Each structure stands twice: as structure tokens, then as C-alpha cells.
């Protein structure tokens, strides 16, 4: 038998440390590589990053902006994470956010005169439902016909964008939309997520996001549903053996995934902006990176969302003060994804590196620092 309790504890702790370490390493690599890009574009990387940092944390207002910028990433990352756990690659987060934002925007724009305690939660619930249903379409298509979710969710994105345009450009007076402004009506204060840090735009969407993450953690790691989702995502054969229905589990997971995205769209609409404009916000694709950096773990997603929020909110200051294009942030996001993918393939890189050196055998510590997850090593 093993070497007792301490070592087991140690092993579990170690695998978590490896996971977290990988994400941190990926972000670090991206920042270093980004520095090269900045330098090539003729700016000082250190100055740029300093401006970025100050832009994100330099004042109360800045901190509020940074946290507010993280909110949609939290929802988007959670959305990606649960789908991924079920073995689904949800590229449709953007469309699901649009559906959620539109639902909440229309409902809030109607100005039904409800008290805030009713109005806000109902709007958010509608956002969840709209996003969830939109997401489950891809789930149903997959379960019923085997259509690949990457294709269907991309198509559903376009469909959602058209639906949004169609709705907000509607000139008929039945809908609370302003075709001139190309947006839903501005939500009344009692239909808005309240500001939680005075003097900033930080709204209660952050709290909803954190609660959603905790709930999702509970769902995944404490309930039968979550167990089924994780089993289905890792082994269809074992799921069949255990009598877990693959189809319905995938559809349900896609509902939750779309629902998280819908909440994200809703929280932007009735939180930050007050109305849904005729343009997708563009959080969907970054959300994939958030999910991956957060290792598709709800708590990891929150941490990753904060990182991406910092990049986003600090980028303006960087552009204004140093002149470094804020688009560099997009480059950084791409680099993070590349770094994650690269580290996943690090086994091969390690072998290549070792072959180059040929002198000493690599110590095992090295293989353990980079993403080689226990249990998957020898028989893969």
C-alpha cells in the first residue's frame, strides 16, 4: 500500500499545483512574447505594461472598471467550462450572450413598473432561459443527428446576430426598441443591476457571476447531474456502461452552458449598458481562452476572467499614455491560447529538448511542472 495519508494528500495537492502552475506559466509566456510584439511595434514594453497596470488598478474608478470588465468573462468562461466538461466545444457563446442580452433588454425596456427585487431577477432569469434554449439547440442537433457542435454553434451565432438586428430595427411600435438608435429602450433604474462600488460602473453582475461559479462548482462536483456530465465528457463507453444517457446529458449541459452565456449577455445589458445594442459585444471568443486558462474549473475561471478583465480595462490607458495600440491585448489573448496549447503538447517539446541536449536525462521534476497530468502519462 502507499505511504500513508500524508503522501496522498500531497499527491492531490501537487496535481492542483501543477494545474494552476500551468495557467500561470501560460499567462507569463504570453506576456513575455507580447513584450516582443510591443517592442517591434516601436514602443517600450515595460512602460506599456506599467501603463496597463496603472490603467487597471491606478484608482478606485480603474478598479471598478477592471472588475466590471471581468464580469462577462466570468459568465463566458463558465459557459465554456461546463460544455467542455461534457465533451462539447461551445463556440456559440457569443450568440447565446446575444440571445440573453436581447431577452433581458426587451423585458427591461418595456418598463413594466415592477419593483427592483422582482424586475431584476426576472430579467436575468429570462436571459438565462433565452441563452440556455439557444445553447440547447446545438445540444439537440448533436444528440439527434451527430451534427458537430462547432459547426452548429457558429451558424447559430449568425442566426442570433440577424435575430438581434431584425428585432431592434423593427419599426412596429409593439416592441420596446428604438430603430434610430438601433437598440432596445433604456431600462428604467429599477430594472438595472445596481452599482456595487459607488463612483464606478461596477454592478451587481459581479456578485451574480461569483454566485453562478459557486453554484456551478456544486453542480459539477457534488450532484449526480454534474457527475454524469463529467463522465459523458471523458468516456462515452463508460457512460453507457453506467447507464448515463449521453444525449440528454449533452443537451442539459448545453442548456446550462448557454444559460451561463445568456446571464453574461443579460448582465451587460441591464448592468453595464442599460440597453442591448445592435452589435454583439465580442466576448464569446475570449471566453474560450478564459475557460481554458481557468482549466474549465469554476474557480479557475474566475481567476482567469480577472486576468482578462485587467488586460481589457488597462489597454485604454496604455494606448493613451504610451501610444501602444490597445489591439495588442488581442494579440496577448491569442498568445495565451497558443501557450496553453503549447504547454499541453509539452511532452513532445520536452522530448525534443532532451534530444537536443542528449547529455543528461531530464529529471522528472521537469515533466511534472508542465501540464503532464497524473494518470494520463504512460499509457496515452
Partner 1 sequence: MVVLTRGRVGRRVAWIVTEQVEVPQPQMAVEMLGIVKRFPGVVANAGVDLSVERGEIHALLGENGAGKSTLMNILMGLIHPDHGKILVHGRDVRFHSPRDAVDAGLGMVHQHFMLIPRFSVTENIILGSEGPGAFIDRQAAEERVAQTAAEYGLVVDPRARVEDLPVGIQQRVEILRVLYQDSNILILDEPTALLTPQEVEDLYRVLNALRDAGRTVIFITHKLREVAAISDRVTVIRRGMTVGTRVTADTTAAELAELMVGRGVSLRVDRTRAHPGEVALQAFDLTMKGRGGVNALDGLSLSVRKGEIVGIAGVEGNGQTELVETLAGLHIPESGTILLGEMDITRDDPVERRRKGLSYIPEDRHHRGLVLPFSLTENMLLGNSEIPPFGDGRRIDYAKTEEITRELMERFDVRAPGPETSAGALSGGNQQKLIIARELFREPAVLLAVQPTRGLDVGAIEFVHSRIVAERDKGRGVLLLSFDLDETLDLSDRILVIYHGKIVGEFSGERVDRAELGLLMGGRVPHGDRVGITT
Ligand X SMILES: Nc1ncnc2c1ncn2[C@@H]1O[C@H](COP(=O)(O)OP(=O)(O)OP(=O)(O)O)[C@@H](O)[C@H]1O
**Euclidean distance between CA atoms 182 and 357, whole angstroms:** 61
Residue 24 is a binding residue for partner 1 (CB under 8 A): no
Cβ 213 to partner 1 shortest distance, Å? 19
In the three-class reduction of DSSP (H, G, I as helix; E, B as strand; rest coil), residue 27 is classed as: helix
Residue 240 is a binding residue for partner 1 (CB under 8 A): yes
Residue 375 is a binding residue for partner 1 (CB under 8 A): yes
**From 5, 40, 113, 172, residue interacting with partner 1 (rule: CB under 8 A):** 5
**Euclidean distance between CA atoms 316 and 313, whole angstroms:** 7
In the three-class reduction of DSSP (H, G, I as helix; E, B as strand; rest coil), residue 192 is classed as: coil
**From 3, 180, 378, 380, residue interacting with ligand X (rule: CB under 6 A):** 378
Residue 146 is a binding residue for partner 1 (CB under 8 A): no
Residue 60 is a binding residue for partner 1 (CB under 8 A): no
CA-angle at 16, arms to 206 and 73, nearest 5°: 25
Tell me which stretch binds partner 1 (CB under 8 A): 85-93, 239-247, 278-286, 320-328: 239-247
Start-to-end C-alpha separation, the chain: 25
User: Would you say 207 or 354 has its CB closer to partner 1?
Assistant: 354
Cβ 243 to partner 1 shortest distance, Å? 3
Residue 234 is a binding residue for partner 1 (CB under 8 A): yes
Provide Rg for the chain, Cα atoms.
22
Task: Concatenate the DSSP letters of all residues of 18-39 into one string.
Answer: HHHHHHHHHHHHHHHHHHHHHH
Residue 345 is a binding residue for partner 1 (CB under 8 A): no
**Euclidean distance between CA atoms 380 and 346, whole angstroms:** 14
Tell me which stretch binds ligand X (CB under 6 A): 75-83, 228-236, 348-356, 369-377: 369-377
Residue 117 is a binding residue for partner 1 (CB under 8 A): no
**From 22, 231, 276, 313, residue interacting with partner 1 (rule: CB under 8 A):** 231
Site for ligand X in 254-273 (CB under 6 A): none
User: Would you say 4 or 113 has its CB closer to partner 1?
Assistant: 4
Q: Which residues contact 183 (CB under 8 A, 6 or more apart)?
A: 105, 168, 177, 275, 276, 277, 278
Residue 235 is a binding residue for partner 1 (CB under 8 A): yes
How many Cβ atoms from other residues are within 10 Å of residue 243's Cβ?
7
**Euclidean distance between CA atoms 4 and 228, whole angstroms:** 31
Cβ 93 to partner 1 shortest distance, Å? 25
Q: For residue 299, which phi and psi values (nearest 5 degrees)?
A: -70, -40
**From 179, 199, 282, 374, residue interacting with ligand X (rule: CB under 6 A):** 374
Residue 320 is a binding residue for partner 1 (CB under 8 A): no
Residue 324 burial class via C-beta count within 10 angstroms: exposed 0-12, middle 13-18, buried 19 and up: buried
Cβ 379 to ligand X shortest distance, Å? 8
Measured CA to CA in angstroms, residue 246 lies from 139, 223, 257, 266 at distances of: 11, 17, 16, 30
Interacting residues with partner 1 (CB under 8 A):
1-3, 5, 7-8, 10-12, 14, 221-225, 227-228, 230-231, 234-235, 237-238, 240-245, 348, 351, 354-355, 358, 361-364, 367, 373-379
Amino acid at each position: 500500500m502507499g505511504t500513508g495519508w500524508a503522501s496522498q494528500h500531497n499527491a492531490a495537492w501537487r496535481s492542483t499545483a501543477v494545474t494552476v502552475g500551468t495557467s500561470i506559466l501560460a499567462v507569463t509566456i504570453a506576456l513575455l512574447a507580447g513584450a516582443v510584439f510591443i517592442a517591434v511595434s516601436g514602443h517600450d514594453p515595460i512602460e506599456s505594461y506599467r501603463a496597463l497596470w496603472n490603467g487597471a488598478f491606478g484608482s478606485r474608478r480603474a478598479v471598478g472598471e477592471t472588475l466590471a470588465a471581468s464580469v462577462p468573462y466570468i459568465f463566458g468562461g463558465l459557459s465554456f467550462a461546463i460544455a467542455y466538461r461534457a465533451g462539447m466545444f461551445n463556440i456559440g457563446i457569443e450568440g447565446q450572450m446575444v440571445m440573453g442580452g436581447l431577452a433581458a433588454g426587451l423585458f427591461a425596456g418595456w418598463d413594466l413598473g415592477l419593483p427592483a427585487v422582482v424586475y431584476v431577477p426576472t430579467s436575468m432569469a429570462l436571459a438565462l432561459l433565452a441563452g440556455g434554449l439557444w445553447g440547447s439547440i446545438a445540444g439537440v442537433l448533436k444528440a439527434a443527428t451527430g451534427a458537430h457542435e462547432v459547426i452548429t454553434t457558429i451558424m447559430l451565432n449568425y442566426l442570433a446576430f440577424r435575430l438581434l438586428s431584425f428585432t431592434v430595427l423593427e419599426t412596429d411600435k409593439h416592441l420596446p426598441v428604438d430603430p434610430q438608435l438601433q437598440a432596445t429602450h433604456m431600462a428604467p433604474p429599477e430594472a438595472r443591476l445596481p452599482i456595487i462600488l459607488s463612483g464606478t460602473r461596477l454592478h451587481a453582475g459581479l456578485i451574480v457571476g461569483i454566485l453562478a461559479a459557486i453554484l456551478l462548482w456544486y453542480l459539477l462536483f457534488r450532484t449526480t447531474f454534474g457527475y454524469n456530465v463529467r463522465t459523458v465528457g471523458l468516456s462515452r463507453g463508460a457512460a453507457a456502461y453506467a447507464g448515463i444517457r449521453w444525449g440528454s446529458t449533452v443537451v442539459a449541459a448545453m442548456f446550462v452552458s448557454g444559460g451561463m452565456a445568456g446571464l453574461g449577455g443579460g448582465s451587460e445589458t441591464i448592468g453595464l449598458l442599460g440597453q442591448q445594442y445592435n452589435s454583439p459585444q465580442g466576448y464569446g471568443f475570449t471566453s474560450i481562452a478564459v475557460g481554458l486558462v481557468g482549466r474549465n474549473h469554476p474557480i479557475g475561471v474566475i481567476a482567469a476572467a480577472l486576468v482578462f478583465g485587467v488586460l481589457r480595462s488597462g489597454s485604454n490607458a496604455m494606448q493613451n499614455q504610451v501610444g501602444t495600440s490597445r489591439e495588442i491585448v488581442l494579440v496577448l489573448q491569442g498568445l495565451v491560447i497558443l501557450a496553453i496549447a503549447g504547454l499541453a503538447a509539452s511532452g513532445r517539446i520536452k522530448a525534443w529538448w532532451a534530444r537536443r541536449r542528449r547529455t543528461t536525462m531530464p529529471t522528472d521534476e521537469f515533466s511534472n511542472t508542465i501540464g503532464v497530468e497524473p494518470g494520463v502519462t504512460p499509457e496515452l
